Amino acid sequence: MECIRQDVAASFGPEDIARQSEQGWKLVAVEWERELPEAESGKPAAEEVPFGLRIAKEAARLEENPAEQEVLFLMMELTIEDGPYSVIADELNRRGYRTREGMKWTPVSVFQMLPRLIEVGPRIFSAQEWHERRARLAKFGTR
């Protein structure tokens, strides 16, 4: 599944939707924004959804984002093996993973994920998937 975000700088209409549809894209969401009146502008900004999670379809809770969860598991594996950030970034890119912004991973972007890895570490280490991955790697004598 490939997803893109298209920023709209001018008018957007049915012809734009038709053009994207002709290229095989399906419209799945519309995001609206507006300037807040001054009375409302003092509200704290909304927090960014933590990496590895996404807003559920009913928008009432967060749920796991499978693609980002895979990145977290792989990043944790490579970090435990004392892989330098450059090697971790290279391996993520080699496997086709990208940051949320659609960019290639860099040593800096991997480093910036360390607080998130620390946060989710206990859950990752207790997950059945983690134990299966570690056993599979040990069986093949890698990592």
- Give the tens place of pLDDT for each residue, 7-37: 776 777 888 888 888 988 888 777 777 787 7
For the chain, the average pLDDT equals 84
Chain centre distance of CA 62: 13
What whole-number distance in Å separates Cα of residue 125 and Cα of residue 134?
A: 10
What whole-number distance in Å separates Cα of residue 59 and Cα of residue 1?
A: 21
| Beta bridge mates, 62 | 55
What whole-number distance in Å separates Cα of residue 126 and Cα of residue 6?
A: 38
What whole-number distance in Å separates Cα of residue 64 and Cα of residue 53?
A: 4
What is the domain partition of the chain in residue ranges? 62-139
Is 43 a residue whose pLDDT tops 70?
Answer: no
Three-state DSSP class for residue 62:
strand
pLDDT band at 141 (very low <50, low <70, confident <90, very high): low
Best mean pLDDT range from 31-35, 111-115, 126-130: 111-115
Task: Give the mean model confidence (pLDDT) for residues 92-121.
Answer: 94
pTM over 0.75: no
Is 104 a residue whose pLDDT tops 80?
Answer: yes
- Give the tens place of pLDDT for each residue, 77-101: 898 888 899 999 999 999 999 999 9
What whole-number distance in Å separates Cα of residue 106 and Cα of residue 98?
A: 10
